[in-house]
Structure 1
Amino acid sequence: MSVAPIVKNVADITPHFIGENRTVKLAVLAGPADGSGTTVVFEIWEPGGSQPDNSHEESTETFIVLQGTATAYSDEHTAELVPGQVIVLPEGSVHHIVNTSATERLYTITVMANDGGFSDLITTGPVAEFDAADLAVLSGVLV
């Protein structure tokens, strides 16, 4: 017997913050709760926003930059990011990304296999809200 695909509407996707960090909103688009072995996340960094250092022991993390500019730090390496670029962070690397704009948000799509509970960490965090700018970028991605 086949399994039906899952289709989500933008209105049904809820962004969250992780812990006390209120500079990055994350919204799980697909993940283990959907029966997927791959987690896909829409991430929004406020101007100047960043994640804390983090690491995923069993997962490569891939970011697709949709809008904005950033600096990615991975172990002792740095990379400047602009729209249209993809950065692949190796499993086990200690990394974080900083939105380098003082005025514009950074938007990415993040893809991880074997996320080690990352999607659960996101969805159990404090609920955030999309605004019109976020929805415009997300809708453009999903159309």
Structure 2
Amino acid sequence: MSGAPPVVRRLSELPAYLISPQDTVRLAELAGPDHGSSTSVFLEIWEPGGAQPINSHEDSAEIFIVLAGQAQAHSDDDTVELTAGDVLILQPGSEHRIINTSETDRLYTITVMANDGGFAKLVTDGTPVELTAEDIAMLVRPSGVPS
């Protein structure tokens, strides 16, 4: 037993980040190394038409759970279409990027990396931006609203 207390983070209190100021994808770190986990979990939000640059994670698969929106994922020489309810698993070392193919709606994913490899620090060293009420509503249903 580690004796460490549980960590509770409130989505309404979390900042999001742009890795680079000109990026069109915001990331909110839900859990990661600073919270006692070698696995990092993010809420990622692509603006309409937004994309992240080609990137790779040598030591970790990256898993995207699509909550809302539509996208095209490129991984090495493969391209797949994504929509809400899809789970995308990108293999360690793959060169990949995801493009929000909608010109009007945001793309939302929960992203999981089992071996962070410094990615959470890269994110949180970026430019802080706010999560909107719409962003938070992707994960939190207001009290009294039926499921």
Q: Return the TM-score normalized by structure 2.
A: 0.91
Give the counterpart letter for 1:125 in structure 2.
Answer: G
Give the counterpart letter for 2:104 in structure 1.
Answer: T
**Does 2:50 align with 1:49?**
yes
Following superposition, the deviation at residue 72 of structure 1 comes to: 0.2
Structure index of larger Rg: 2
**What SS class does the counterpart of residue 138 from structure 1 fall into?**
coil
Following superposition, the deviation at residue 20 of structure 1 comes to: 3.0
The sequence identity of aligned pairs, in percent, is 54
Structure 1 alignment gaps of length 5 or more: none
Give 1:1-143 correspondences, 5 Å limit. Answer: 1=1, 2-140=3-141
Larger deviation: 5-14 or 107-116? 5-14
Structure 2 alignment gaps of length 5 or more: 142-147
RMSD across aligned positions (CA)? 1.1
Q: Return the TM-score normalized by structure 1.
A: 0.94
Larger deviation: 8-17 or 74-83? 8-17
Give the counterpart letter for 2:60 in structure 1.
Answer: S
Partner Cα separation in structure 1 for residue 99 and residue 48 of structure 2:
9
Following superposition, the deviation at residue 114 of structure 1 comes to: 1.3
Q: Which runs of 4+ in 1 moved over 4 A?
A: none
**What SS class does the counterpart of residue 133 from structure 1 fall into?**
helix
Partner Cα separation in structure 1 for residue 109 and residue 84 of structure 2:
9
Give CA deviations for 1:19-73 in whole Å, capped at 9, x if unaligned: 1333100010000000101000000000000000000000000000000000000
Following superposition, the deviation at residue 130 of structure 1 comes to: 1.3
Partner Cα separation in structure 2 for residue 12 and residue 138 of structure 1:
14
